[in-house]
Amino acid sequence: MEGRVNYSGLVIAGVGFFLTRFTVTLAVYDDPVRFYLVGVVPLALGLGLAAFGVALTVADVEPVLVRTTARWCVAGTGAMLVLVVLTLLGSTAGDTALASVRSQSHLSNFLIGGGVGGTLTGLYAARTHRHRGELVRQAHRLEMLNRLLRHEVLNAVTVIRGYAALGVDDHPSAGSVIERRSDAIERTIEEVKYLTRSETRAGVSNRSLGLEPTVTASADAVRERHSRADVSVEMTPEAAAARVRAGERLQHVFDNLLENAIVHTASSTPTVEVVASATSATVRVSVRDNGPGLPERQQALVETGDIGEFDDPRSGFGLTVSRFLVESYGGGIEVDVDGSGTTVTVVLQRTDVEDTGFGALHADTGVRPAIPHLVVTFLAALVAGVGYGFVAESLGGSVAAIGVFYGIDDPFVGWYTHQFHSVVFAFGFAGLVSLLPSRFRNDIPVYAAVGIAWGVFIWLVAAGVVAPVWLRLIGIPASVPNLSATLLANHLVWGASLGVFTAWGYTNLAPRLARFGR
């Protein structure tokens, strides 16, 4: 599961849940009115923070965003705790002030406020970090364009001027040289024109190209220019049929990689292998050569985009251009160098599986739920929670009793905390169905079956063991395990309805939410 789970999200969930437990522990001896005024609001915020942390754990978002948000959440909570403690220590009332804080649950309010505030600050900091990264990439692009113009265009102009001064009589091939150099200038201008566009993932989100025709055309063009080179192409059937998110210059990416692999080898018969494979959400096209290996600085150029502070015309611009293009398509480039050569792998998002309801990763680890589909999961969880409650009440149970776990037997608190449980477990369900093979994605019977299995698991573990142990910890007698048939029926209805509504929502609602968010 490494690469699929943003474990830092569990830190946020843990902070929110712990502070909520702290809230009800302080408020459990208060009368109901005081609990509503002082306890319900922090209860809602704390549980909401916990659910948000679980959502980030399984969501298709950058891990750095989750890590940054988790750090700020902990920092906000800790800063508020220090502030409150210093205030109490400096208070002339001493123990009286501390007792007042405890009885009125002010401390929990402050801590939850600090946790929520820290989380919001973390999201803003992560967004700022991303924007800073975009500015750095733009600066690298401008630097590369500057060098491209100076190296390619100025060199060509110098040659043209020299041959123009000689004249045709002095040098019969002057005309053809001038023509070639003029063509090079024209190609460079077109390259600059394309690269100066502000391309983002949203800019290419509606573009789709067939992978096999693009790779094949690139290999054929390179074979024609380098007849001594042995260029082989191997594609899995799924990769050959795949369509990827890319612009019209995707072939230029592979042209650059193949050209670089052939030109920078000392072998008289360069060998280049192109291997394409597909995952459920991405395609990986690897270009492997038998050359001396990509220099360390060029590896850094491809992997990080760091151009450096000096010009090196021998390095060329193909790899830099390729990186910029792939980034604009929302993909990535990986480099692996060993004793037998260099392998450069281009990772692109598939568009022919976009309706699965999941987002793509830049690694060969499958998929994770995208944000629109977590919204659908949230809504499905609320509906499934209502179904659970209806069955529970019909069979003589009481959803209101769930509030006992949080300090008070109250209908509102019971239903709110019950729906919180439903949402948290539903996010876990979203992570589970993301493991399904692509042919089963958004399949209502399959999702219903997985939901039922998930409901049985929750009945066995959460309701059967964790819940009674929890009751014992707060002083309420309970048998362990507690595997009643009534609870099983509740969880079966919950799991089946969650699976059905999630599959339906992924097919019908998620695409609309995705278009709305662009």
Residues 6+ apart with CB under 8 A from 426: 377, 378, 380, 381, 384, 498, 502
DSSP code per residue over 372-413: HHHHHHHHHHHHHHHHHHHHHHHTT--GGGGGGGGT---HHH
pLDDT of residue 447: 94
How far is CA 227 from its chain centroid? 43
Q: Exposed, middle or buried: residue 329 (CB in 10 Å: 0-12, 13-18, 19+)?
A: buried
pLDDT of residue 293: 63
**Cβ-contact 413, 36 below 8 angstroms:** no
pLDDT of residue 318: 65
Alpha carbon distance 6, 306 (integer Å): 27
Rg (CA), the chain: 30
Q: Which of 59, 45, 20 is nearest to 427 (CA)?
A: 59
pLDDT of residue 373: 85
pLDDT of residue 454: 95
Q: Which contiguous run of DSSP H or E holds residue 284?
A: strand 282-289
Locate 227 and state its tokens: 């007849």
pLDDT of residue 366: 42
Alpha carbon distance 139, 455 (integer Å): 51
282 sits in the region (left: phi over 0; alpha: psi -120 to 50; else beta) called beta
Locate 312 and state its tokens: 């090196």
pLDDT of residue 446: 92
> Maximum distance among all alpha carbons in the chain?
107
DSSP code per residue over 308-372: -SS--GGG-SHHHHHHHHHHHTT-EEEEEEETTEEEEEEEEEBSTTGGGSEEE-SSSS-EEE-HH
The CATH number corresponding to 209-351 among 3.40.50.720, 3.30.565.10, 3.30.70.120, 3.40.470.10 equals 3.30.565.10
Q: Which contiguous run of DSSP H or E holds residue 299?
A: helix 296-304
**Cβ-contact 467, 461 below 8 angstroms:** no
Alpha carbon distance 334, 241 (integer Å): 23
Residues 6+ apart with CB under 8 A from 227: none
Q: Among all chains, which residue has been given the structure tokens 């004249």?
A: 167
User: Model-level pTM greater than 0.85?
Assistant: no
**Could you read off the pLDDT tens digit of each residue along the chain, which spans 518 residues?**
345 678 888 999 988 888 886 555 444 445 556 666 666 777 888 888 989 998 888 887 778 888 899 999 999 988 888 887 777 676 655 555 555 555 445 677 788 888 889 999 988 888 888 777 777 766 666 666 666 666 666 666 666 666 666 655 666 666 666 666 676 666 666 666 666 654 444 444 457 888 899 989 888 888 888 888 888 889 998 888 888 888 777 888 888 888 878 877 767 778 888 999 887 678 899 888 877 666 666 666 666 655 554 444 444 466 777 777 787 787 888 888 777 778 888 888 888 764 444 443 333 334 467 788 889 999 999 999 999 989 988 887 778 788 778 766 778 888 888 999 999 999 999 888 888 877 777 789 999 999 999 999 999 999 889 888 888 887 788 888 888 888 999 999 999 999 999 999 988 888 887 766 55
Q: Among all chains, which residue has been given the structure tokens 């009332």?
A: 93
| CATH 3.30.565.10, the chain: domain bounds | 209-351
pLDDT of residue 161: 63
